[in-house]
């Protein structure tokens, strides 16, 4: 079976989730592009979008339509060539509408798992629960005449365990996208000792067609990305908890969030990122990773408390951010949740006082957005971080500690044989978390 044949009948499990919807979008576009190639006009390409939630699937179709329009607009010139033999498509809008139709036409939303039995490739993006993943994959495999290949998007469960428990004979690998899959360039690729060579080769071809950056990770729970993210998040929580000795809790959370974003030049503050991924998801990932760690317990009582109080973060099917550590209006943080009051405190009530506590940020400060396309960013960032080291202000001191911890976490991932090398750790943070610089750097010695 060649590349195209493998992609003629595909299923995505958990298609309405935020990772599933992105995987579905990228795969639908790739499959539609194949279907529009001259030699493939008589073939039928089918992409099953499977999810337990009917409402989620309806939201998914809306999301896809909007996103495919954006894709079509970006490749308008290419599409003109694709539809060159269609005299009825005259205006740009005609071509875009036709492309949206052709992409949407291959997608079959369904709440029934049985539709996956005819697929040759299955993307699994259900919730981070090993037993559920094993149950679904073994259920499909036992009923499928196709002996499909499985690409799991698990962010923490070792792949060999899913393979062994579901009895997949090496027809599985970890193909871990980052959120949002349509934007983040990274795919973490995890093969086991048993993963078949042809499955891995296909994965590399497919990633290349999607223009993804592939970083191999060893098959260790959490892999590289979450190996860094979970520890980075726990450092932030610990720092905020320590700060409550000198300031109220909501100010402490505000300060640490601001340090991660403005002082460490990241796209989001760390508490905003935890909300974006979902407090529940972060907690599950830590729980999955823990049994594999000998000398560490990745756990936070604060996350437990928030969960108990129903504060979970994550996103609505529209893509809008749900409240978590922070409260959001039009996607912007406007409040901080106080577990004692069981309510949000407006940021405007205390930001001035909290900013004074952090002290002046050096004039050399730069924003994440301006760094992305700055050819001189290493020099600019070095100047800013050096100013932080000599500043003496609380915010600067905490930022330097945070940068050093992030570097230590990165190095440990190599020492623990989770990552092959330091460059891979940096690439994961640059392309999966959209950081402007890698954690293992000269800035934070
Ligand atoms: N689907 C498709 N496109 C999306 C999108 C989505 N869900 N969300 C954002 N975009 C697009 C926007 O439409 C916009 O596109 P254009 O430039 O073409 O207009 C582009 O992304 C930038 O978005 P915005 O202008 O709205 O905002 P931004 O520049 O601040 O970027 C962000 C938003 C890409 C989310 C950025 O803030 C970011 O990268 N944040 C960090 C997210 C992160 O760390 N993700 C990894 C989480 S960990 C994980 O995923 C692994 C795990 O296992 C837990």
Sign of dihedral through CA atoms 31, 36, 38, 39? positive
Q: In the prediction, which pLDDT does 319 show?
A: 79
Phi-psi region of 110 (alpha: psi -120 to 50; beta: other; left: phi over 0): beta
Instruction: For the chain, give every domain's residue range.
Output: 3-217, 225-432
Beta bridge partners of 65: none
> 344 near 336, Cβ under 8 Å?
yes
3-state helix, strand, coil in the chain (%, to 5): 55, 15, 35
CATH 3.40.50.720 fits 3-217, yes or no: yes
Two tokens, residue 310:
């129903």
> 245 near 347, Cβ under 8 Å?
no
Which residue, 359, 388, 347, 398, is CA-closest to 243? 398
pLDDT over 80 (residue 317): no
Helix (H) or strand (E) holding 341: none
Ligand 1 centre distance from Cα of residue 274 (Å) = 14
How far apart CA 148 and CA 136 sit, in angstroms, is 13
Pocket of ligand 1 (CB under 6 A): 67, 155, 178-180, 182-184, 225-226, 229, 267-268, 273, 276-277, 319, 432-434
Q: In the prediction, which pLDDT does 48 show?
A: 98
Please tell me the residue having the least CA distance from ligand 1 atom 6: 180
Q: In the prediction, which pLDDT does 122 show?
A: 98
The model carries a pTM of 0.95
Burial (0-12, 13-18, 19+ Cβ within 10 Å), 445: exposed
Which residue, 181, 185, 203, is CA-closest to 121? 203
Ligand 1 centre distance from Cα of residue 319 (Å) = 11
Pairing type for strands 149-152 and 121-124 reads parallel
Ligand 1 centre distance from Cα of residue 308 (Å) = 28
Q: In the prediction, which pLDDT does 412 show?
A: 97
Cβ-based neighbour number of residue 210 at 10 Å? 18
List, for residues 54-71, the tens digit of each pLDDT value.
999 999 999 999 999 999
Q: Which atom of ligand 1 is nearest to the CA of 156?
A: 53
Mean pLDDT of 90-112: 95
How far apart CA 333 and CA 346 sit, in angstroms, is 9
Q: In the prediction, which pLDDT does 445 show?
A: 86
List, for residues 131-157, the tens digit of each pLDDT value.
999 999 999 999 999 899 999 999 999
Q: In the prediction, which pLDDT does 233 show?
A: 98
Q: What percentage of the chain carries pLDDT values higher than 70? A: 100
Ligand 1 centre distance from Cα of residue 181 (Å) = 8
Q: Which fold has domain 225-432?
A: 1.10.1040
Q: In the prediction, which pLDDT does 90 show?
A: 85
Q: Which atom of ligand 1 is nearest to the CA of 22?
A: 1
The chain-wide mean pLDDT, for the chain, equals: 96
List, for residues 257-303, the tens digit of each pLDDT value.
999 999 999 999 999 999 999 999 999 999 999 999 988 999 999 99
List, for residues 2-48, the tens digit of each pLDDT value.
999 999 999 999 999 999 999 999 999 999 999 999 889 889 999 99
pLDDT over 80 (residue 370): yes
ω into 180 cis (within 30 of 0) = yes
Provide φ and ψ at 323, rounded to 5°: -70, 145
Per the listing, tokens 């959120």 go with 179
> 184 near 177, Cβ under 8 Å?
yes
Please tell me the residue having the least CA distance from ligand 1 atom 12: 183
How far apart CA 159 and CA 220 sit, in angstroms, is 8
Is residue 442 very low, low, confident or very high in pLDDT (cuts 50, 70, 90)? very high
Count, residues in the chain: 445
Which residue, 213, 234, 262, is CA-closest to 360? 262
Sign of dihedral through CA atoms 69, 71, 75, 81? negative
Please tell me the residue having the least CA distance from ligand 1 atom 26: 331
């Amino acid at each position: 079976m060649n590349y195209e044949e493998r992609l003629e009948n595909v299923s995505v499990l958990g298609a309405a989730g935020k990772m599933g919807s992105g995987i579905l979008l990228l795969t639908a576009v790739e499959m539609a592009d194949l279907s529009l190639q001259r030699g493939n006009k008589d073939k039928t390409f089918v992409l099953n979008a499977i999810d337990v939630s009917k409402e989620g699937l309806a939201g998914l179709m809306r999301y896809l339509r909007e996103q495919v329009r954006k894709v079509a607009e970006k490749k308008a010139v290419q599409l003109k060539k694709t539809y060159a033999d269609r005299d009825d498509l005259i205006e740009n809008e005609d071509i875009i509408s036709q492309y949206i139709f052709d992409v949407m036409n291959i997608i079959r939303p369904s709440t029934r798992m049985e539709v996956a039995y005819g697929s040759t490739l299955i993307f699994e993006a259900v919730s981070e629960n090993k037993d559920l993943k094993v149950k679904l994959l073994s259920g499909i495999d036992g009923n499928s005449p196709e002996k499909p290949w499985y690409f799991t998007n698990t962010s923490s469960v070792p792949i060999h365990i899913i393979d062994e428990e579901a009895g997949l004979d090496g027809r599985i690998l970890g193909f871990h996208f980052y959120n949002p899959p349509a934007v983040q360039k990274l795919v973490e690729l995890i093969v086991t000792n048993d993963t078949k060579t042809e499955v891995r080769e296909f994965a590399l071809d497919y990633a290349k067609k999607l223009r993804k950056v592939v970083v191999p990770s060893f098959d260790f729970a959490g892999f590289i990305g979450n190996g860094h993210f979970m520890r980075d998040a726990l450092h932030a929580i610990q720092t905020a908890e320590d700060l409550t000795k000198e300031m109220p809790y909501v100010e402490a959370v505000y300060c640490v969030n601001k340090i991660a974003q403005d002082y460490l030049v990241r796209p989001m503050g760390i508490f905003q990122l935890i909300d974006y991924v979902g407090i529940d998801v972060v907690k599950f990932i830590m729980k999955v990773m823990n049994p594999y760690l000998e000398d560490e317990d990745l756990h936070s009582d604060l996350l437990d408390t928030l969960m108990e109080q129903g504060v979970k973060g994550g996103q609505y099917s529209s893509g809008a951010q749900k409240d978590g550590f922070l409260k959001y209006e039009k996607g912007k943080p406007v409040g901080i949740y106080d577990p004692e009051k069981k309510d949000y405190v407006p940021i405007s009530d205390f930001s001035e006082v909290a900013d004074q506590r952090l002290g002046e940020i050096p004039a050399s400060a730069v924003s994440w957005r301006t760094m992305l396309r700055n050819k001189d960013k290493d020099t600019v960032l070095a100047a800013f971080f050096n100013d932080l080291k000599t500043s003496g202000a609380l915010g600067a001191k905490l930022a330097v500690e945070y940068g050093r911890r992030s570097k230590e976490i990165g190095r440990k991932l190599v020492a623990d044989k989770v990552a092959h090398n330091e460059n891979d750790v940096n690439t994961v943070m640059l392309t999966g978390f959209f950081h402007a610089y890698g954690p293992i750097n000269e800035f934070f010695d």
